[in-house]
Structure 1
Amino acid sequence: MIEASRGRRWAVVLLVPFLLGALLWVSWSAPVEPQAPRRARAPRTSRPAASPDKPLRLAQAAPAAQATPPSSDAALTVSRVLPPPSPRALKLYQIGKKLGVREPRLENPCVAPSGTTCSRTALSPFFESLDALSSRGASSPAVISAFGNSLIAGDRIVDIIREELGANFGDGGRGVLTMDRLGPYGPRVRTGFARGGWEPRTLGELKLAELPFGITGIYHRSTTARASSRFALENEPHGTLWWLDVPRAGQLSVHADGKELARAEPQGSGQAQALAFDIPEGTRHLEVIAEGRGAVVLGLVLQHQRPGIVLDTLGVPSADANLFLRAREDIFRTQLAERSPRLLLFILGGNEAKRLEWGRSNLAEVEEGLRSLVRRSRAAAPGSACLVVGPIDAVRGGNGANKLAQRPYLDEVISIERQIALSEGCAFFDIFSAMGGSGSLARFVQAGLVHEDLVHPRSHGLDILGQLITDALLRSWVDAGDPRRQAALAPPLQASEETQ
């Protein structure tokens, strides 16, 4: 009797937390109205503080499934529901709630209306890939090409997107890698371990480099003979070395566990080349060796053929859309076409706003740069979906009333990015509003989630931004399963906005 009584008490103790957690999970799933479309604002207009009644909603449980009308945007064999939250997402929800982070919603415009409904949206190509992965009908990975500045160059924001999507739709592997890190810090998951002399150059530098760039926006040139970079393999069966055939450059060779697999012999043509090779099963390490000085590597692709998510991080410190246009167009188009992405992701705007403030750019240049980058990318990958993510909140230092005040031109850049996205058939995500609007970065600073430069979030600050983008994509994937709801969520751009 005593043992039975103890057993019942333990059952109650274990059951109560589970029930409380289930109630909290269900409470996060309450539907909310979509955000009103952003309109252009006058310069330096301040924004209200984040509303406490719209907390962050990360990876929530889905509401009861509704019948899905026939649509090319929703495979009939796939039930689109939000995946259950990961433990990390639940932790980020608690942090975000204290910071005033709002529920993430993106605008996914209808690009093919069908009467009163929508048969195809801007994100349909990517969502169809998610459907195929979800139903196990995919035979190859779904690649995301993410262009951005230092906000993603350190990988943490896109790591969250990569890992959260990969956990639910499969991990397709690493994709595009570089020879080494750009600085003595940061992760090496998507870089090699360099030895010897390698000089890195990026298109984000103030002075234009003498050699052309590809989609990575980075090249490494050997400054000593036998400079090398080593990559730990994850059972990838295939690889491609992107290299530049410059005059008087040393040869490049690729080795698997010490045995040569392939060799690139420069002819001095000045053209970009792709050296493809198969990797023997069981190989543990791959090494790229510059036999002499002057060899130039644009990137290395290590690719699985298994279904899943692959996210290529194409982040360059100090970059903006205009600087990405420094990449030579023929190389950019060839390499991006080779990657064949299902989603083009542009996370830009912060450096554009700063250069406007400093008088180094103007609104016409900002608009032309982003529009040209979007069009160039879409021409190289015409079957891809497209998503533009606006800049995060930005503040100045200062003292007194001006301390941590919002920087000027942020509203203008967000408005321009939204107008370009929707007019070019892309989706748009206003991450500024999602992170809490004006004053949100100050709250991140006070919570210790921003570096001393007051520009770059760190730690859970970056994780929250990555989770916001992930959740915005997943929510739109579910919403797009009902074309009637999608038509209401993403009305067309207003005429007044098109002309501003």
Structure 2
Amino acid sequence: MTLVLTLLLGVGLSLAPVPEALRPIPSLAQGPVGPRLVELVATSSAASKRKAVGVAPDGESDAPQVPVLPEEDDPEQLVEVETTDAGTPLPVPVVSDSLGLANLGPTTRESALRMELLREKLGARHVDLELGCRRMGASGCEESGMAPFFAALEALRDGRRTQPVRVEHLGDSLIASDHITDVVRNRLQERHGSGGKGFVYIDRPTRSGRGVRAGQASPGWEFIRVIDRAPPKDRLPMSGVAFTAGGAAGPQDVRFAIEDARTAEISFLAQPGGGTVQVLADGKSLQKVQTRWTPAEVAIARIKLPTGAKTLTLKSRGKVELHGVSLENGNPGVVYDTIGLPGAYAGVFLRTHRPYFRAQIRQRKPSLVVLMFGGNEAFRLSRDWTKPEEIRQEAEALVKLVRESVPDAACLVWSPIDAAVRTMGGDLVPRRGSRMVADIFRDVAKEGGCAYWDALSAMGDEGSAIRWLSAGLLNEDLIHPRARGSDLLGHLFDLSIQRAYAASHPPVASTEPPGLRNLDKALTTTFTRLRSLEKGDSAHLGILQLGASHTASHYFTDAMRTALTKRFGDAGRGFIAAGKASERLKPAGVARELVGEWTVEDALTATTPGQAWGLSGIRAVGAPGASLRIRFCDGCTADTTPPARLSLYWLDGSGAGQPELKVDGTAMPPEPPPPEPFTAPTVRIRSFPVTGPAHEVEVLNQGGGPLTVLGAALDLERPGVTYDVAGLPGSTASTLASHEPQALAAQLSSRKPNLLVFWYGTNESGEANLDASKLRTEYGTLISRLKKDAGGAECLLIGTTDRLQQDADGTWAVAPGLATVTAVLPEVAREQGCAYWSARAAMGGEHSMLRWQRAGLGHEDGTHLTPEGYEKLAGMFLSDLIAAYEAFKAQPPPLAAEGG
């Protein structure tokens, strides 16, 4: 009865015409009474179930405590994307990259452009960072407030940094559930690489909201927080929460999903009488952390996690106080920590124990500290619970604490966002004090050497909260954005950072433009044949790609072959070099087998130039009695009806072994001997008519000497594309030029390629004293000769990928000959009438290999790509090739049109 009477009295006073500061329940004047009472009772009920240590769990009585933010927005309350009359979405506008969209992937970029539509509809604005000045000199500002952070990002880009770039983002309820910060984190990590998840709490500090930045904790953990009504002095660290175990509830545990993490840093209080923490990965014990120490101080325990582990579990025993766990993957990249507490303001974080604050933030080694407050200051100011002078003093003290604790870090201060209140008449008006607090924070940031971001202006200035509410982007409390509104704020903040970074550290322009070049006549025959195939005419396009390891890996060419044959028809697997069994051939359904005594030789190991090699610079030499098998379409169930041709390539000559050939297990009649014996190794080619793509050719050396096999080929005699691959790891264009010319010409004449694709330059780029003139002359002469040997084939040069070499100190430097290669190859292509495509430009130009490494696309050696990287690069090349083909179809040259 007492509770009911007290509640009725509070409701009556809250609805009475008295000043807002005297209302016991101010929020009841901001909307319908019923839902507010339900919310109040539900919040009180939930609070009674929590186990805060000796204090009220929902924070101090004069701070605005907020309801749980929704994990997902209600679609019915969101702004609808405009559509055409047919109901399809309007096209996303093409926006200049002056917004800051560089280096975002297609999915993220599309999402960002959708956010732009929403921004325009709401009247939100792009507001640039005010960089401030952290160090003045005789000539003015010598270092901006963001300089340390931007320098760290540049070092990541250049490969000079081997440690993560960490951001500590301290704030209030706007980020308590990782809204806003999640967008910024994801984009920074997409641009600059991910260093891992970063700091996460033991449990959610309010046990409500999203749990994405906390572990799964047992219910007996108790906590104390700086946002509580009477937090203990000299007790709490920078993260503002301490989770304790060992009381009446006994031992506790917490589990974290560790994803790609390789290290875990456990932050705890080392204290007299401290207990232990057992650390387990996937349920298996790793080590035990002892927390007993005198005097008490903040400490960390760094744990190396097993590769592939999925979960990390901490089990307490005795008196234990934990603050959180930092999860990182050991890679250079961005780590973005979110430290958000509902009801927090600058003065709240001043309640931390200064030595603990400094120790914990220093342990994180941040490059940037973001201070995101103001909303609760404005709320308190509107209730006359504080004064502007007090707000200024607290903000100045917090900035000073941060600058003194981590003097080498950049700092950035947010303004408050807009909020609204409901009058007694039910009207919505802007909350008083937001702009005043924003101006105070701007002055504090400037005086403290920090950057400043005016979130209030970005949102649309005072009154914008009302528009956001009507659009479904603001909660009914008139203070907190919903999930999509938070995403928009994160979008605007992220782009303000990127614009400032781009302005102070402009990207190094690539010396090679992206896309296909020299297309006037270079690919006329190729495109004409593709058009005939697409029309259903009887045509064939043979492509032969020659190169080094990028080609030999098969990942790039397999992706190209699959796409081209799917669209234009499959004319067979084509040429396969002789050699050992290879897992890389399996995706294409090819198997090789060597039985007996074989030696696989390559042109790189040749002691004398001018020897005869297969197209790829490889040959397999078998002793008498040895056999070799090559199977095409191994294990497949393809159509067996189309006529086909199965061919074997080997070397004949004085003292050569005598081959016995079998096709699908059936011995073939011996070939008549040549009219005159060969005086030098000579390429012999024998073809057999078959049907369908699934066949095996076997060669047995009957004796008389060693038998040298170069390869085999399977061609379907139907319209389509054949994509031959001849790559030798470590080779250069000069390696190919050293092959015996007649043997090379005989194989090219047999394969009859219409298009020769050359992909050399990567190994040349590793030469410290690369001769540009010699490279230009020798490469050009080689291309001219091979085009002629192939019967007048067209040609296309692929330029080298980005290549970096790691110094002894772990930093990455550009390969010594890379600049020469990127300058010479386009000239060679132009002189020889070849099309040209720069793989390096497609990757993103200078130091793009670092970004590909961080995305799992570049190999750790700085030279090669991962399988996923080769497939991505092939997709880029194919996209440019097909775009050029479509342009050709739209306006073909006159001769091509006549002959089509």
Q: What is the TM-score when the length of structure 1 is the normalising length?
A: 0.77
For this pair of structures, how many residues does the alignment match? 413
| Structure 2 counterpart of 1:331 | 356
| Structure 1 counterpart of 2:371 | 346
Q: Is the 8 A contact 1:82 1:474 kept in 2?
A: no
The superposition leaves residues 290-323 of structure 1 with CA deviations (integer Å, 9 ceiling, x where unpaired) of 113x421112122232111111111111111111
1:314 and 2:336 equivalent?
no
Partner-residue secondary structure (3-state), 1:396? strand
| Structure 2 counterpart of 1:136 | 159
Q: Is the 8 A contact 2:435 2:462 kept in 1?
A: no
What percent identity do the matched residue pairs reach? Answer: 33
Alpha-carbon distance in structure 2 between the residues aligned to 1:197 and 1:451: 32
Match 2:129 to one of 96, 101, 106: 106
Q: Is the 8 A contact 1:246 1:267 kept in 2?
A: yes
| Structure 2 counterpart of 1:472 | 496
Partner-residue secondary structure (3-state), 2:481? coil
Q: Is the 8 A contact 1:256 1:283 kept in 2?
A: yes
Bigger shift: 265-274 or 413-422? 265-274
Partner-residue secondary structure (3-state), 1:143? strand
| Structure 2 counterpart of 1:39 | none
One-letter code of the match for 2:397? Answer: S
Match 1:25 to one of 94, 97, 101: 94
Bigger shift: 106-115 or 224-233? 106-115
Higher strand fraction (1 or 2): 2
| Structure 2 counterpart of 1:392 | 417
| Structure 2 counterpart of 1:187 | 210
Match 1:213 to one of 226, 229, 236: 236
| Structure 1 counterpart of 2:800 | none
The superposition leaves residues 346-381 of structure 1 with CA deviations (integer Å, 9 ceiling, x where unpaired) of 111011111122222221211111111111111111
Partner-residue secondary structure (3-state), 1:478? helix
Q: CA deviation at 1:110?
A: 4.3
One-letter code of the match for 1:128? Answer: A
1:451 and 2:449 equivalent?
no
| Structure 1 counterpart of 2:169 | 146
1:363-378 paired onto structure 2 within 5 Å: 363-378=388-403
Alpha-carbon distance in structure 1 between the residues aligned to 2:422 and 2:101: 36
1:202 and 2:228 equivalent?
no
Alpha-carbon distance in structure 2 between the residues aligned to 1:268 and 1:228: 25
One-letter code of the match for 1:317? Answer: P
Partner-residue secondary structure (3-state), 2:167? strand
Q: 1:472 to 1:318 in 2, by over 3 A?
A: same
Gaps of 5+ in 1: 1-19, 32-56, 62-80, 483-500
Bigger shift: 375-384 or 176-185? 176-185
Alpha-carbon distance in structure 2 between the residues aligned to 1:211 and 1:290: 24
Q: Is the 8 A contact 2:145 2:451 kept in 1?
A: yes
Alpha-carbon distance in structure 2 between the residues aligned to 1:459 and 1:271: 38
Q: CA deviation at 1:200?
A: 2.4
Match 2:181 to one of 141, 148, 158: 158
1:288 and 2:311 equivalent?
no
Q: 1:248 to 1:430 in 2, by over 3 A?
A: same
| Structure 2 counterpart of 1:51 | none
One-letter code of the match for 2:446? Answer: L
Q: Is the 8 A contact 1:198 1:221 kept in 2?
A: yes
Alpha-carbon distance in structure 2 between the residues aligned to 1:265 and 1:473: 40
Bigger shift: 368-377 or 233-242? 233-242
Partner-residue secondary structure (3-state), 1:391? coil
1:422 and 2:446 equivalent?
yes
Alpha-carbon distance in structure 1 between the residues aligned to 2:252 and 2:494: 38
The superposition leaves residues 315-337 of structure 1 with CA deviations (integer Å, 9 ceiling, x where unpaired) of 11111111101111111111111
Partner-residue secondary structure (3-state), 2:429? coil
Alpha-carbon distance in structure 2 between the residues aligned to 1:110 and 1:247: 44
1:425-440 paired onto structure 2 within 5 Å: 425-440=449-464
Q: Is the 8 A contact 2:145 2:450 kept in 1?
A: yes
1:106-125 paired onto structure 2 within 5 Å: 106-111=129-134, 119-125=142-148
Alpha-carbon distance in structure 1 between the residues aligned to 2:299 and 2:142: 40
One-letter code of the match for 1:426? Answer: C
| Structure 1 counterpart of 2:296 | 270
Alpha-carbon distance in structure 2 between the residues aligned to 1:83 and 1:434: 25
Match 1:253 to one of 266, 278, 287: 278
Query: What RMSD, in angstroms, separates the aligned Cα atoms of the two structures?
Result: 2.5
Alpha-carbon distance in structure 2 between the residues aligned to 1:185 and 1:436: 30
Partner-residue secondary structure (3-state), 2:336? strand
The superposition leaves residues 266-295 of structure 1 with CA deviations (integer Å, 9 ceiling, x where unpaired) of 256433332222223232211111113x42
Q: 1:241 to 1:215 in 2, by over 3 A?
A: same
Alpha-carbon distance in structure 1 between the residues aligned to 2:438 and 2:174: 16
One-letter code of the match for 1:404? Answer: L
Match 2:190 to one of 152, 164, 167: 167
The superposition leaves residues 147-178 of structure 1 with CA deviations (integer Å, 9 ceiling, x where unpaired) of 10111111011001100111111111112111
Alpha-carbon distance in structure 1 between the residues aligned to 2:174 and 2:207: 17
Say which one has the larger Rg: 2
Alpha-carbon distance in structure 1 between the residues aligned to 2:141 and 2:233: 48
Q: CA deviation at 1:187?
A: 2.9
Alpha-carbon distance in structure 2 between the residues aligned to 1:358 and 1:249: 43
The superposition leaves residues 62-116 of structure 1 with CA deviations (integer Å, 9 ceiling, x where unpaired) of xxxxxxxxxxxxxxxxxxx899862221121111111101122111134556787
Q: Is the 8 A contact 2:269 2:321 kept in 1?
A: yes
Q: CA deviation at 1:137?
A: 3.4
Q: Is the 8 A contact 1:240 1:301 kept in 2?
A: yes
Partner-residue secondary structure (3-state), 2:202? coil
Q: 1:470 to 1:287 in 2, by over 3 A?
A: same
Q: Is the 8 A contact 1:82 1:475 kept in 2?
A: no
Q: Is the 8 A contact 1:156 1:463 kept in 2?
A: yes
Alpha-carbon distance in structure 2 between the residues aligned to 1:118 and 1:210: 39
Q: 1:281 to 1:273 in 2, by over 3 A?
A: same
Partner-residue secondary structure (3-state), 1:164? helix
1:403-422 paired onto structure 2 within 5 Å: 403-422=427-446
Bigger shift: 263-272 or 409-418? 263-272
Q: CA deviation at 1:255?
A: 1.9
Q: Is the 8 A contact 1:262 1:277 kept in 2?
A: no
Q: 1:113 to 1:198 in 2, by over 3 A?
A: closer
One-letter code of the match for 2:392? Answer: E
1:86 and 2:109 equivalent?
yes
